[in-house]
C-alpha cells in the first residue's frame, strides 16, 4: 500500500502546478458530460489531478477504517492512473472525462462514509447525554452541584455534530459535488467523538475507562486520522 501511494505521488509531481483562475471555483458545478469540453480540458485535468489526489489522501484512513478497506483505495487509484495515462498520451478530453469520473467516485464514496460517521456520532452523543442526565439527577438528589466539565464536553460534542450534520444533509442527496465539504464533515464528526471520549475518560473509573477504550479503539485511532490495525493472530 505504501509503495502504491509513493508511485501515486510521483504521478502528481509530473503535472504542472495548477494556477488557472478560470477554475478556482468549487468543482461542485462540474458535471460529467459534453459541456465539460466548453472549458479547456487540459486545465481541468491539472486542477483535478491535484484535487483528486488531495481528497484521496485526506480520506485514506476513513476509507480503510469505514469505507471498504485498501481495495477501495486501490480502485480510486486505478481510476486516477487511467486518467493520468490518457493525459500523457495527449488525450486531454478523454483524460478530463476520466478525472471527472474519478472525482464523482470519490464524492459517492465520501457520502457513504460520512453517513457512517453521522450515525455513529449521533448514537454516541445520544447515549452520552442520557448517561450524563442520569448521573446528574442522582447527584442532584444527593444535593451535589452540576458537573461543569461534563456540560463543556457535551456542548462541544453537540456543536460538532450539528456542524457535521449541516454539511451531511446538504450533500447526502446530491448527484455530484466536490468531496471537499463532506471531508470537512468527517472532521466535525471526529471532533464530536473526541469530546465524548474525553467526557467518558473524565467520568469513568479506571476499569471502565479501559473497557471503554477497548470498545472504541478503532474510533480512537480514526480520530487521529490513522488507520486502525486490528490485532490478528498470526499463524
Find out whether 97 and 33 touch, Cβ atoms under 8 Å: no
Domain ranges of the chain: 2-107, 115-223
Cα gap 224→61, rounded to integer Å: 9
DSSP 144: P
Can you tell me the distance from the alpha carbon of 94 to that of 23, in angstroms, rounded to the nearest whole number?
18
Residues 6+ apart with CB under 8 A from 226: 61
Neighbours of 95 (CB within 10 A): 24
The pTM of the whole model exceeds 0.85: no
Q: What is the largest CA-CA distance in the chain?
A: 77
Q: In the prediction, which pLDDT does 173 show?
A: 94
Instruction: Answer whether residue 209 shows pLDDT above 90.
Output: no
SS3 131: helix
Tell me the pLDDT band of 203, cut-offs 50, 70 and 90: low
Amino acid at each position: 500500500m505504501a509503495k502504491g501511494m509513493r508511485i501515486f505521488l510521483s504521478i502528481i509531481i509530473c503535472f504542472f502546478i495548477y494556477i488557472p483562475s478560470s477554475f478556482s471555483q468549487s468543482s461542485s458545478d462540474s458535471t460529467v458530460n459534453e459541456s465539460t469540453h466548453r472549458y479547456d480540458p487540459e486545465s481541468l485535468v491539472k486542477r483535478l489531478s491535484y484535487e483528486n489526489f488531495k481528497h484521496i489522501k485526506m480520506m485514506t484512513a476513513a476509507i480503510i477504517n469505514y469505507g471498504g478497506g485498501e481495495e477501495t483505495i486501490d480502485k480510486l487509484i486505478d481510476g486516477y492512473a487511467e486518467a493520468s495515462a490518457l493525459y500523457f498520451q495527449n488525450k486531454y478530453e478523454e483524460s478530463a472525462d476520466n478525472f471527472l469520473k474519478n472525482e464523482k467516485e470519490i464524492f459517492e464514496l465520501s457520502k457513504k462514509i460520512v453517513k457512517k460517521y453521522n450515525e455513529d456520532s449521533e448514537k454516541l452523543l445520544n447515549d452520552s447525554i442520557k448517561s450524563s442526565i442520569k448521573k446528574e439527577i442522582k447527584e442532584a438528589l444527593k444535593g451535589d452541584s452540576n458537573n461543569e466539565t461534563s456540560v463543556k464536553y457535551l456542548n462541544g460534542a453537540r456543536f460538532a455534530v450539528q456542524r457535521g450534520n449541516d454539511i451531511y444533509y446538504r450533500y447526502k442527496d446530491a448527484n455530484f459535488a466536490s468531496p471537499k465539504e463532506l471531508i470537512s464533515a468527517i472532521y466535525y464528526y471526529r471532533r464530536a467523538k473526541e469530546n465524548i471520549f474525553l467526557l467518558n475518560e473524565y467520568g469513568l473509573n479506571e476499569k471502565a475507562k479501559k473497557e471503554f477504550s477497548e470498545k472504541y479503539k478503532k474510533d480512537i485511532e480514526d480520530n487521529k486520522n490513522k488507520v486502525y490495525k486490528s490485532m490478528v493472530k498470526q499463524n
